[in-house]
Amino acid sequence: MGKVLIIGAGGVGTVAAFKVAQNSDVFTDIMIASRTRSKCDAIVKAIGNPDIKTAAVDADNVEELVALFNSFKPEIVINVALPYQDLTIMEACLQCGVNYLDTANYEPKDVAHFEYSWQWAYHERFKEAGLTAILGCGFDPGVSGVYTAYAAKHYFDEIHYLDIVDCNAGNHHKAFATNFNPEINIREITQKGRYYEDGKWIETEALEIHKPLTYPNIGPRESYLLFHEELESLTKNFPTIKRARFWMTFGQEYLTHLRVIQNIGMARIDEIDYNGQKIVPLQFLKAVLPNPQDLGENYEGETSIGCRIRGIKDGKEHTYYVYNNCSHQEAYKETGMQGVSYTTGVPAMIGAMMFLKGLWRKPGVWNVEQFDPDPFMEQLNKQGLPWHEEFDKDLEL
Ligand code: NDP
């Protein structure tokens, strides 16, 4: 049915490639391209399908991307490189008539700043070109937006309160490691917190607000309020929302390491001079931390990510909790990657499948909640991320 190009050969790219290869009725022609070609070849070997093509590409370079797109001629690109590459890949898509999907919004390298404006600015150009761009199609952002759209479609006349809750109750047996790209992860967590209330954004100190929340099959875990990019699009696309927040769990050990990393300047993203060479401390730190791709083997426990929603249906207040629990070991057995890569790579594949099946196809730049959630929800159950619902229970929030 379709030709797909996956850009990025990290943890998420590996899972996306496995899942794309499993759905060969939809994805008939596959290429994996990344900065380091040997990593793409290793994924092909792990999957065991020599028909999957590989290529080296510097996705910061529009000309290189254009040359690659013109030779392979994909219908859609799954961008699971880093957020820094979003705009160059979107630009190349426009030049070559290719549709686009990613899992993280654009960030400039020199400021850790998360907002959709840079990518939303491409809306008219994608629309005029008749091309679809699907933004933020991992788990959060991604499934969190699909869950919200599903709740709005089936269970609420108005959503008033939305809390996205993200728990990783896994143990990888390392003193400190991040579950996805350390540079992107640490930039996100060390930012000031922010949430939406009554039409305004309220800023907090980093990790200032926290409380224990109870996660299914896991129990209570201290959860910290963070800003997360889908809050921006969800409050815009569901204007009845009065308050929207995002919570993520962290263990004490992780937070202690993070504090030390910050206090000694290793989280800095500006260039410093080291023995006559310019280095960015956070990029150097990434090079010495465990590779998120290598965490899977000894990872135990599970993740639990969901949406806790309060709103009105037929004049009455209701609550709704929809979530997925994902076992790190099960993810590892299937793809060789841990649960965080798995929960991101599977939805990225499903988004591309929705496009190729013609179910999520409309010219312009869209966030996932702007498409029909039903076929996506159906695929989540089939592709390894089953979801569960709880109605009218205490949401703790
Ligand atoms: P990794 O660091 O493991 O992988 C990133 C990959 O991109 C690497 O293969 C890297 O190549 C490649 N890459 C980096 N720069 C370039 C470039 N200029 N040109 C070509 N390739 C490049 O990250 P993850 O797999 O953990 O994460 C991938 C994406 O998924 C990130 O954007 C992350 O923010 C997002 N994500 C989204 C989540 C969600 O739920 N929405 C959750 C988790 C992650 P090399 O190996 O050579 O460095």
Q: How far apart are CA 348 and CA 142, in angstroms?
A: 8
Would you call 31 exposed, middle or buried from its count of C-beta atoms within 10 A (0-12, 13-18, 19+)?
A: buried
Q: State the pLDDT confidence band at 264, using cuts at 50, 70 and 90.
A: very high
Which numbered atom of ligand 1 lies nearest the CA of 343? Answer: 40
Within 8 A by CB and 6+ apart from 77, the residues are: 4, 5, 6, 7, 69, 89, 93, 98, 99, 100, 101
Q: Using one digit for the tens of pLDDT, what is the confidence trace for 278-313?
A: 999 999 999 999 998 889 999 999 999 999 999 999
Q: State the Cα angle at 280 between 278 and 282, rounded to 5°.
A: 160
pLDDT attached to residue 59? 98
Mutate to test the pocket of ligand 1, among 82, 184, 385 (most ligand atoms within 8 A of CB): 82
Percent of the chain at pLDDT above 90? Answer: 93
The answer to whether 282 and 267 have CB atoms below 8 angstroms apart is yes
Q: What is the mean pLDDT of residues 151-167?
A: 98
Protein residue closest via CA to atom 11 of ligand 1: 35
Span from the CA of 329 to the centroid of ligand 1 (angstroms): 22
> Reduced to 3 states, what is the DSSP secondary structure of residue 238?
coil
- Indicate the average pLDDT of the chain: 96
Judge whether residue 145 has pLDDT over 90: yes
Q: What is the mean pLDDT of residues 211-233?
A: 97
Span from the CA of 156 to the centroid of ligand 1 (angstroms): 36
Judge whether residue 110 has pLDDT over 80: yes
Q: What is the mean pLDDT of residues 220-227?
A: 97
The answer to whether 258 and 285 have CB atoms below 8 angstroms apart is no
Mutate to test the pocket of ligand 1, among 6, 14, 34 (most ligand atoms within 8 A of CB): 34
Q: What is the mean pLDDT of residues 113-122?
A: 93
pLDDT attached to residue 180? 86
Span from the CA of 304 to the centroid of ligand 1 (angstroms): 22
pLDDT attached to residue 293? 87
Q: What is the mean pLDDT of residues 339-355?
A: 98
pLDDT attached to residue 187? 86
The answer to whether 126 and 363 have CB atoms below 8 angstroms apart is yes
The answer to whether 345 and 18 have CB atoms below 8 angstroms apart is yes
Span from the CA of 28 to the centroid of ligand 1 (angstroms): 24
DSSP labels for 60-124?
A: T-HHHHHHHHHHH--SEEEE-S-GGGHHHHHHHHHHHT-EEEESS----TTS----SHHHHTTHH
pLDDT attached to residue 4? 98
Q: How much is the CA Rg of the chain, to the nearest whole Å?
A: 20
Q: How far apart are CA 203 and CA 206, in angstroms?
A: 9
Q: Which residues line ligand 1 (CB under 6 A)?
A: 8-13, 34-36, 39, 57-60, 80-83, 85, 103-104, 138-142, 180-181, 184, 292-293, 340-341, 344
pLDDT attached to residue 181? 87
Span from the CA of 12 to the centroid of ligand 1 (angstroms): 7
Judge whether residue 213 has pLDDT over 80: yes
Judge whether residue 113 has pLDDT over 90: no
Span from the CA of 83 to the centroid of ligand 1 (angstroms): 8
Distance of CA 26 to the CA centre of its chain: 22
CB burial of 111-123 (b: ≥16 within 10 Å; e: otherwise) equals ebebebeebbebe
Q: What is the mean pLDDT of residues 11-26?
A: 98
Mutate to test the pocket of ligand 1, among 12, 63, 64, 86 (most ligand atoms within 8 A of CB): 12
> Which phi and psi angles does 158 have, rounded to 5°?
-140, 130
Q: Using one digit for the tens of pLDDT, what is the confidence trace for 320-330?
A: 999 999 999 99
Q: What is the mean pLDDT of residues 213-228?
A: 97
Q: What is the mean pLDDT of residues 320-347?
A: 97
Span from the CA of 30 to the centroid of ligand 1 (angstroms): 18
pTM: 0.97
Span from the CA of 161 to the centroid of ligand 1 (angstroms): 32
pLDDT attached to residue 182? 87
Give, in order, the Cα–Cα distances in Å from 363 to each of 35, 106, 132, 146, 393. Answer: 29, 20, 5, 19, 39
Mutate to test the pocket of ligand 1, among 80, 188, 340 (most ligand atoms within 8 A of CB): 80
The answer to whether 44 and 6 have CB atoms below 8 angstroms apart is no
